[in-house]
Structure formats: structure tokens, C-alpha cells
């Protein structure tokens, strides 16, 4: 096979499973490849160039070390093609990302930014975009400005983000529930945009305002979707000192909430001019938030939070309740980590409380 900076780690480990132990022994930062969730997220999208930067290892050295191990274990000498420009280290990547965003902030051209991004950064991780946002905020840029730039910089990085695989999580995991809701949210937003097109001539077809009212009533479920992020997911990330997503996304949540209520008022008044002007923007903002969740927030959270923390999130979400969709299954089915009581059964059954919410049975209840 050919080995170069763009070779995917997931491809290597799938074809040569013995490399997992080899890489973990070679550098401590590669221990993450033993983690199931890390393999399912960053491991599926990361290239040798990416992991060389994470571990602060020269790309050429890493490729040659892997090639030597492959030859020793398989008897086949891989073809090396590592003449590409040396990889930027992680700090360098962040500085380049920040520079691109600041130029966009100063009126730079989006297409130029995309070209510069493609040349300088072969791929990008969710963690790096989140860190970039936090550094901009710490550097004095108002949160409202970073929030305003969010769509712009996602636009600049969309091509790289689109290459990321879908997130594999078990049924009932909080991220699985979020993504199921996102499919419904996206359909409702698209319906809202289609209704604006129907009314664009200044005349509402029969029943159009009733349908618009129904869509906006269904989109009221966004309140619960965003509250679960704000009250459960964001606080756990903040424990790990990851504050950028909560600061930026919470502001956008507020904008979407206000816009939905204002549009609902326009529908009640049958104000066709306001509806046609504002519905497409709301639909776009809702769909863009879905994109940011699935391409940045959820991969970042899956990389940083462990199963015990996700179980804590699931318990809190069960207490808040669900509006758009309910979890597809009970999760987790077993307690995460050691059991405190000697001889206790590790299985953790779920029960429904008086409100009908599914929850884990605490040890105190046993």
C-alpha cells in the first residue's frame, strides 16, 4: 500500500490491526486509538498528518516508522509518498485557523479563505475549531462577534467537515437521540422554507398559513432540544474547560428562539410579507445549527467525555423529558465503572418514575 500524510488511521488499523498496539507503545498520545469511542470518531477521520501534529512528531519520521513495522510484520515494503509540505503542528494549525477567521472578520473574501484553508490544512478536527473560537474570545473578540462569524468560518471549513464520517453511537445514547431529533428538525425547517416559496407571489394558497402554524408549533420542540444541550451537555464540557461551544451556540439558540416566536406572531396575523421575508432565514439558521452540532459539537463531545459522563447526561435528559423524539432504547444497560458494593450485580435496570420518565436505578434505590 501507499503511505503518506493523507493515509487514514482507520484504514491502517482496519487492514493491519497489530498497528494499534504498535502505535500505542510508540507514543503515549496514541493510546487514544485503543478507546472505542475515539476510534469511532477521530480515528475514522484522522490522517497520519493529523496524528503526527497531535503527537508533535515529524510526519516523515512517523510514516517511515510505520512502514518499517509493516514490512517487518508482513514482508511487504510499503510505497512512501511523503513529499508533501511538512504538517503544521497543532499550535500552528490553530494559529492558521485563527488568522483565516480574523481576515474574514476584516472583510476578507470567503473563496480566498477556502483556498488558503485547503492549501495550509489538509483536514480539520472539531476540537481545533472549538479551541479556535475559545482563543478568539480569550483574545478579546466579543462572543457576539464570534457568534456572527460562526456561519462564515463553517462555510470556509465545510468541505473538510463534510468528509467526516457519520457518528456511530449505540441506540439510546444521548447523541443518538440528538441526531434522530435533527432529522425531524431538518424536515420541518425545509417545510418552512418551501411554504415561503409558495407564498412568494404575495398570495397564500389555501391552508398555507394553517400549515405554517403547524410547522412552527412543531418547531417549538427546539426549546427542549436546546435546553438539553444547555443544561446537560454544555456543563459537562465546561468541566473539561471547553467553553467555546456553550458561549457561541447558546447565543444562536436565543436568536432562533426569538425568530421562531416572531414568525409565529406573523403567521397568526397572516402577515405574508413578514413570513416570506423571515421564514427562509429561520429555516437556514436551524439547519446550520444541525450541521454545527453533528460536524463539530458531537464529535468533540464524544472525544472528550467518557461513558460515565454520558450516562450522567442521559439521566439528566430523562429528568428534563423529551419533546421531538424519545431515546430509541435504554442506555447504558450496565453501570459504567466499578461497582462500589461488594458482591453487587453490575447490571443497572431502568425504571420509570412517577412522571413516567425512564431513569437509571441508583444504588440507594436498590
Rounded percentage of the chain residues whose pLDDT exceeds 70: 68
Q: What is the pLDDT of residues 111-125, one digit of tens each?
A: 666 666 655 555 666
Residue 143 forms part of a structural domain: yes
Residue 48 forms part of a structural domain: yes
Same domain? For 42 and 151 the reply is no
Same domain? For 21 and 152 the reply is no
Residue 85 forms part of a structural domain: no
Same domain? For 333 and 293 the reply is yes
Same domain? For 238 and 325 the reply is yes
Per DSSP, the residues of 148-164 read HHHHHHHHHHHHHHHTS
Same domain? For 59 and 190 the reply is no
Same domain? For 158 and 300 the reply is no
Given a cut of 70, whether residue 108 has pLDDT beyond it is: yes
Average pLDDT in the chain: 77
CATH number, position 41? 1.10.3910
Give the count of beta carbons closer than 10 Å to the beta carbon of residue 228: 22
With cut-offs at 50, 70 and 90, classify the pLDDT of residue 110.
Answer: low
Query: Is 250:230 a contact under the CB 8 Å cutoff?
Result: yes
Instruction: Tell me what pLDDT residue 29 has.
Output: 78
Same domain? For 11 and 146 the reply is no
Q: What is the pLDDT of residues 180-195, one digit of tens each?
A: 999 999 999 989 988 9
Count of domains forming the chain: 3
With cut-offs at 50, 70 and 90, classify the pLDDT of residue 144.
Answer: low
Residue 27 forms part of a structural domain: yes
Query: Is 322:232 a contact under the CB 8 Å cutoff?
Result: no
Instruction: Tell me what pLDDT residue 341 has.
Output: 33
The domain of 158 spans: 90-162
Same domain? For 155 and 205 the reply is no
Instruction: Tell me what pLDDT residue 84 has.
Output: 44
Residue 138 forms part of a structural domain: yes
Q: Which of 162, 186, 220 is the last residue of a domain?
A: 162
Q: Which of 144, 162, 180 is the last residue of a domain?
A: 162
Same domain? For 185 and 313 the reply is yes
Q: What is the pLDDT of residues 55-69, one digit of tens each?
A: 777 777 788 888 888
Same domain? For 204 and 234 the reply is yes
Residue 149 forms part of a structural domain: yes
Same domain? For 304 and 244 the reply is yes
Q: Which of 109, 140, 162 is the last residue of a domain?
A: 162
Per DSSP, the residues of 272-339 read HHHHHHHHHHHHHHHHHHHHHIIIIIHHHHHHH--HHHHHHHHHHHHHH--SS---SS---SB-SS--
Q: How far apart are CA 318 and CA 322, in angstroms?
A: 7
Q: How far apart are CA 176 and CA 293, in angstroms?
A: 12
Q: How far apart are CA 117 and CA 120, in angstroms?
A: 5
Query: For the range 31-36, what are the long-range contacts, defined as Cβ-Cβ under 8 Å and sequence gap of 24 or more?
Result: 33/9
Q: Are strands 350-352 and 358-360 parallel, antiparallel or unpaired?
A: antiparallel
Calculate mean pLDDT across residues 57-84: 78
Residue 234 forms part of a structural domain: yes
pTM: 0.57
CATH number, position 358? 1.20.120.520
Instruction: Tell me what pLDDT residue 269 has.
Output: 96
Given a cut of 80, whether residue 330 has pLDDT beyond it is: yes
Tell me the angle at which helices 244-268 and 272-292 cross, rounded to the nearest 10 degrees. 160
Q: How far apart are CA 271 and CA 285, in angstroms?
A: 21
Same domain? For 110 and 193 the reply is no
Give the count of beta carbons closer than 10 Å to the beta carbon of residue 299: 25
Task: Determine the length of the chain.
Answer: 366
Residue 42 forms part of a structural domain: yes
Instruction: Tell me what pLDDT residue 167 has.
Output: 76
Amino acid at each position: 500500500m501507499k503511505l503518506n500524510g493523507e493515509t487514514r488511521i482507520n484504514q491502517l488499523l482496519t487492514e493491519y490491526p497489530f498497528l494499534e498496539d504498535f502505535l500505542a507503545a510508540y507514543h503515549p498520545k496514541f493510546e487514544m486509538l485503543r478507546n472505542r469511542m475515539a476510534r469511532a470518531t477521530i480515528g475514522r477521520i484522522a490522517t497520519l498528518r493529523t496524528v503526527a501534529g497531535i503527537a508533535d512528531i515529524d510526519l516523515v519520521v512517523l510514516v517511515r516508522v510505520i512502514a518499517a513495522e509493516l514490512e517487518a510484520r508482513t514482508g511487504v515494503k510499503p510505497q512512501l509518498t511523503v513529499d508533501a509540505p511538512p504538517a503544521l503542528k497543532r499550535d500552528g494549525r490553530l494559529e492558521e485557523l485563527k488568522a483565516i477567521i480574523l481576515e474574514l472578520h476584516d472583510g476578507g473574501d470567503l473563496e480566498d479563505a477556502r483556498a488558503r484553508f485547503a492549501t495550509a490544512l489538509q483536514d480539520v478536527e472539531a476540537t481545533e475549531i472549538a479551541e479556535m473560537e475559545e482563543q478568539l474570545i480569550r483574545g478579546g473578540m466579543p462572543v457576539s462577534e464570534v457568534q456572527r462569524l460562526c456561519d462564515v468560518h463553517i462555510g470556509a471549513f465545510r468541505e473538510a467537515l463534510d468528509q467526516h464520517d457519520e457518528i456511530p453511537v449505540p441506540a439510546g445514547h444521548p447523541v443518538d437521540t440528538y441526531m434522530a431529533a435533527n432529522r425531524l428538525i431538518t424536515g420541518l425547517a425545509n417545510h418552512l422554507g418551501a411554504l415561503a416559496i409558495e407564498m412568494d407571489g404575495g398570495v397564500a394558497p389555501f391552508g398555507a398559513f394553517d400549515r405554517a402554524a403547524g410547522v412552527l408549533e412543531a418547531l417549538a420542540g427546539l426549546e427542549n432540544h436546546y435546553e438539553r444541550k444547555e443544561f446537560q451537555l454544555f456543563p459537562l464540557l465546561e468541566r473539561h474547560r471547553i467553553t467555546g461551544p456553550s458561549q457561541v451556540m447558546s447565543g444562536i439558540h436565543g436568536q432562533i428562539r426569538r425568530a421562531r416566536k416572531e414568525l409565529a406572531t406573523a403567521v397568526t396575523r397572516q402577515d405574508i410579507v413578514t413570513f416570506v421575508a423571515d421564514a427562509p432565514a429561520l429555516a437556514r439558521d436551524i439547519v446550520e445549527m444541525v450541521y454545527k452540532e453533528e460536524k463539530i459539537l458531537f464529535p468533540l463531545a464524544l472525544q472528550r467525555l467518557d461513558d460515565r459522563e454520558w450516562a450522567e447526561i442521559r439521566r439528566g435528559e430523562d429528568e428534563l423529558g423529551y419533546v421531538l423524539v424519545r431515546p430509541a432504547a435504554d442506555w447504558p444497560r450496565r453501570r459504567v465503572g466499578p461497582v462500589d458494593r461488594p458482591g453487587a450485580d453490575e447490571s443497572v435496570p431502568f425504571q420509570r418514575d412517577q412522571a413516567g420518565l425512564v431513569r437509571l436505578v441508583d444504588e440507594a434505590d436498590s
